[in-house]
Amino acid sequence: MRLPFVAGNWKMNTTVSEAEQLVVEMIERLDRTEGVEKVLCPPFVSLVPISMMLQGSSIKLGAQNMYFEAAGAYTGEISPLMLRELCEFVILGHSERRAYFNETDEMVNKKVRAALKNELKPILCIGERLAENESGKTEEVVSRQLRKALEGIETGALNIAKKLVIAYEPVWAIGTGKAASGKQAAATIHFVRDVLAQIWNDGIAQDLRVLYGGSVTSANIAEFVSYPEIDGALVGGASLKADEFVSIARQTAEIKGKKSS
């Protein structure tokens, strides 16, 4: 049984006081929503105050990025050692980082390994661009991104299925209002598990949570989480509205709860 999962990626939005206000607006309702793991990923500068606000709640905290070195002369970067005092999760390989900050598969691999080594749980983002989708290259891209990001990662000692979450996020669906269909997303996520089974084994592929991300809202979340392959969502824009994000978490818990009972 995989515990459903919803994460809100606030991206480069909210000042510290706006972030605190957003937490105030959702904390009680989100905390009460059971049967789904809930993670908020605010900007770095809000991690400290929000970590304090979330103490004693069931809501977890994640960062949006991380450098792979532990410390040193890397002006402006944030290390796994800094994050692990504050959060449990870290988003890695988001397509915006790949597109605007030239993150390569090799860098993503270094980051995933550094996160795991430092007891941080990566939310690893993969997904194809529009042209790749249109030319039938989705599986090729997703397979390459997965194999490279996970290269050299041992499974046994790390209990990888409990520590890693994969987010399949087709780039053309992120922030565009044009979500993939549930059927499309489920088919690719099925393929993601086939690749994970080849990299490691079928047990790990079945235990590991795989999310969909790309223009998820309270109006379309049901379409995705109704598929058994899709364990939840990585949510961008809609996670900046308390009512929306709470509804996404509630619907996920409800639909997955019904399916398992």
Burial of 137 (0-12, 13-18, 19+ CB in 10 A): middle
Question: Quick check: 236 binds ligand PEP (CB under 6 A)?
Answer: yes
Question: Which residue number, 200 or 231, has a Cβ lying nearer to ligand PEP?
Answer: 231
Contact residues for 175 (Cβ-Cβ < 8 A; gap 6+): 215, 236, 237
- 41: β partners: 9
Question: Quick check: 216 binds ligand PEP (CB under 6 A)?
Answer: yes
Helix (H, G, I), strand (E, B) or coil at 138: helix
What is the nearest approach in angstroms of ligand PEP to the Cβ of residue 152?
Answer: 26
Phi, psi (rounded to 5 degrees) for 51: -60, -35
What is the nearest approach in angstroms of ligand PEP to the Cβ of residue 70?
Answer: 27
Question: Which residue number, 80 or 127, has a Cβ lying nearer to ligand PEP?
Answer: 127
Phi, psi (rounded to 5 degrees) for 40: -110, 135
What is the nearest approach in angstroms of ligand PEP to the Cβ of residue 133?
Answer: 15
Question: Using CB under 6 A, which of 46, 109, 215, 218 touches ligand PEP?
Answer: 215
- 210: β partners: 166
- The amino acid present at 52, given as its one-letter code, is M
Number of residues counted as binding ligand PEP (CB under 6 A): 14
Question: Quick check: 235 binds ligand PEP (CB under 6 A)?
Answer: yes
By CB under 6 A, name the binding residues for ligand PEP: 9, 11, 169, 174-175, 213-216, 234-238
